């Protein structure tokens, strides 16, 4: 598989994940009728994460996601070095 095709697939997967999370949030808000907002986020600059959130539960989920993303980044860089 060419690298450009792999990159395109990753972009599509990212867009699908964003759409699924938005639909999940809308469904949850409509079902509960609540206005309480909790959330967290992560900004990846290379393999280094910047994590922020509104409560401990959201931060735990984002920290787990950051560890997963850093592991994937290291694996992809290692595979790329071996190919080249």
Q: In this predicted model, what pLDDT tens digit does every residue of 32-46 receive, in sequence order?
A: 876 777 888 888 887
Helix, strand or coil for residue 46?
A: coil
d(CA 43, CA 45): 6
- For residue 49, the Cα-to-chain-centroid distance in whole angstroms is 11
Q: Write down the pLDDT at residue 21.
A: 92
The tokens describing 25, both together, are 């949030």
Share of the chain above pLDDT 70, in %: 98
Lookup: tokens for 83? 């190919």
């Amino acid at each position: 598989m060419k690298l450009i095709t792999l990159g395109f697939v990753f972009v599509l997967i990212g867009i699908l994940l964003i759409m699924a999370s938005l639909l999940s949030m809308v469904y949850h808000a409509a079902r509960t009728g609540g206005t309480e907002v909790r959330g967290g986020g992560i900004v990846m600059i290379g393999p280094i994460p910047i994590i922020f959130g509104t409560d401990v539960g959201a931060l735990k989920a984002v920290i787990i996601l950051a560890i997963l993303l850093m592991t994937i980044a290291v694996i992809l860089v290692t595979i790329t070095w071996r190919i080249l």
